[in-house]
Structure 1
Amino acid sequence: MKRWNAGAWAGIGVSLFSLTFLLLSLDFSYTGPAGPGPGFLPLWISGIMFILSIFYIWESVKDKDGTGEPMPRGAALKSVLFVLVILVLYLILMPILGFIAASALFLFTLFVRHYKWHISIGAAVLVTLVLFWLFGSVLHVDLPESTFGW
């Protein structure tokens, strides 16, 4: 029996992700008064992503010579699980701490594993503030605020 490689599992994850967004995009109107509506782009992007993920799974499974990407083990598996746990904590803390604090903490936690702590703090704060300015001021996206209003 052939063991599935990491590509097949990644394809399954992406297909479930894109299928979820495809189904959620059906709640929005496809057209608007001036052309495409709010459901147009999410529907097409998630649909194309789903189709491409199915092709990716197929290519990963039919790999006859077994040269596909193996599932991570040891330190690589710990790194993948660490990022997943930190991402889940970020999603949990976002409504409580707000975008700025949660994002800075998330990025610091990722950066500090590879850089010195003071560089990690500086990079995390800088990236967070640039993203806050870009999405908040330039694109006018409402970002989550903390219970303190920031």
Structure 2
Amino acid sequence: MKIKSERDFWSGLMFLVVGIVFAVGATNYSMGTSARPGPGYFPLLLSIILAILGAIVLFKSLTIETEGGDPIGKIAWRPLLITVGSIVLFGVLLPRLGMIITIPILIVAVSFAGDEFKWRGVLIAAVVLTFFSWVIFVWGLKLTIPMWPSFLGS
């Protein structure tokens, strides 16, 4: 079978594999019921949806002809490394500096991965995302996330 869109083939394969791996991992948690979902219910559903979408994209890459075969270009290493490094930095800093400081650091750091960097937009995004993270995770879901640096004794 001939690959008619290289880009769709590899992205579909990636979604399919990631969906299957996470679905298998989600089975280690309690599923609960539809009325009272357990911790594995939502991840399992998202994993299945991701795998189905991956299969659809993969099927499309093998059946629908694209002009020039949609080749994959070179890997954008700089944005990839900055994004992964920023996420690692977030994981290291969150317990030490708290959410109020760590999320803006994450937003500023990951903003350097793009081609267009404007301080005004980055700072607005940092404030808005920090506020909504607090609303969703701390206020709404009542998760125990450190808000302020640990050395302040909060």
Task: Indicate yes or no: 2:93 matched with 1:97.
Answer: yes
1:86 aligned onto 2:88 = no
Percent identity of paired positions between Structure 1 and Structure 2: 24
- Structure 2 residues not aligned, in runs of 5+: none
Q: TM-score if structure 1 supplies the norm length? A: 0.72
Is contact 1:29–1:39 with CA below 8 Å preserved after alignment?
Answer: yes
The structure-2 alpha-carbon separation of the partners of 1:38 and 1:3, relative to structure 1 and needing over 3 Å to count, comes to: same
Deviation at 1:88, TM superposition (A): 1.1
Q: Which structure 1 segments of 5+ residues have no match?
A: none
Residues 10-46 of structure 1, C-alpha deviations (whole Å, 9 max, x = no match): 11222222122101111111226x6432222222221
The Cα RMSD (Å) is 3.1
**Matched residue, 2:32:** 31
- Structure 2: how far apart are the matches of 1:92 and 1:110? 11
Contact 1:97 1:147 in 2 (8 A): no
TM-score for both structures, normalised by structure 2 = 0.70
Would you say the 8 A contact 2:86–2:110 is kept in 1?
Answer: no
The 2-side partners of 1:83 and 1:3 are apart by 28
Decide whether the 8 Å contact of 2:3 with 2:9 is kept in 1.
no
Q: Which moved more, 1:132-141 or 1:118-127?
A: 118-127
Higher mean alpha-carbon deviation, 139-148 vs 95-104, is at: 139-148
Partner in structure 1 of residue 133 of structure 2: 131
1: CA distance between counterparts of 2:31 and 2:132? Answer: 32
